[in-house]
Amino acid sequence: MTAELVIKVSIADDHKIFRDGIKMALKNKEYLRILWEAEDGKDLVHKMQIKRPDVLLMDIRMPEVDGINAIGLLRKEYEEVKIIVLTMYDDQEMISKMMEMGANAYLTKTTDPDEIYQAILTCMNDDFYFNDLVNKAVLSKLQTKRQVRQFYPSPIKFSEKEIRILKLLAEDKTTDEISKEVFLSTRTIETIRQNMKTKIGAKTIAGLIMYAMRNKLID
């Protein structure tokens, strides 16, 4: 295994027994290395400044700085780090909120270790891991938005090129794949994507896609 292939994983959870269990479950998984563990939100923010992981497994309820506040802080500084929420809460509103704030996946603590491993690999390759929990939460949020649509302003208009890129993003296409399909450089794709996020005030690609689905810009 080369150094380039190793995925550095960190764990933030205030329960040592759970952290030890996750470390044990992932210990022999190919391509993974546990970088560090944090016992609370303050410890998490501090260690992120010292050594940056590729993937962060993070609980929501933690002392000092909880996961909700932590994800807001982390997304401002470490956009490239994949954040997988790993918690006991399966509330749809919480799931939707964490995904909109920048989580790349949302799992409960009863999730099988093999699925946690698969979520890590998927997030590294495709940015997001969508399981039944996340899909149901997104659909529920969309249904709620439809019921109160009359209170929302008209959707912001996107160009045909932007809508084309939106559709490809929703199909889990990478920047390189989108670049080849629309015949634009990867840098141009990244600029267009960022401009679309700015237009609607979205912080993440997930938020951008959810906006597009909510306003029927994509199927």
- Its pTM stands at 0.66
Residue 88: which CATH number?
3.40.50.2300
Predicted pLDDT of residue 199: 84
Q: Is the pLDDT of residue 212 over 60?
A: yes
Rounded distance between C-alpha atoms, residue 132 and residue 129, angstroms: 10
Residue 147 counted as domain residue: no
How many distinct structural domains can be found in the chain? 2
Are residues 58 and 157 both part of a single domain? no
Q: Decide if 70 contacts 86 (C-beta within 8 A).
A: no
Region of residue 11 (phi > 0: left; psi between -120 and 50: alpha; otherwise: beta): beta
Return the pLDDT at 144. 60
40/110 same-domain check: yes
Q: Whole domain around residue 179: which residue ranges?
A: 153-214
Cα Rg, the chain, nearest whole Å: 18
**What pLDDT digit, counting tens, does each position of 94-121 carry?**
898 898 889 999 999 999 999 999 999 9
Instruction: Say if 219 falls within a structural domain.
Output: no
Q: What angle do CA 49, 22, 95 make, to 5 degrees?
A: 75
Q: Are residues 134 and 77 in the same domain?
A: yes
Residues 60, 36 share a domain: yes
| Mean pLDDT (whole number) for 187-211 | 86
| Residues 38-64: tens digit of each pLDDT | 999 899 999 999 999 999 999 998 888
| Domain co-membership, 124 together with 164 | no
For 139-179, the pLDDT digits (tens) are: 776 666 555 444 445 567 888 899 999 899 888 889 999 99
- Domain annotation covers residue 144: no
Beta strands in 78-143 (DSSP E): 82-87, 105-108
Sign of the CA dihedral running 137, 210, 80, 44: negative
Residues 176 and 107 in one domain: no
DSSP H helices, 9-112, are: 16-26, 41-50, 67-77, 92-101
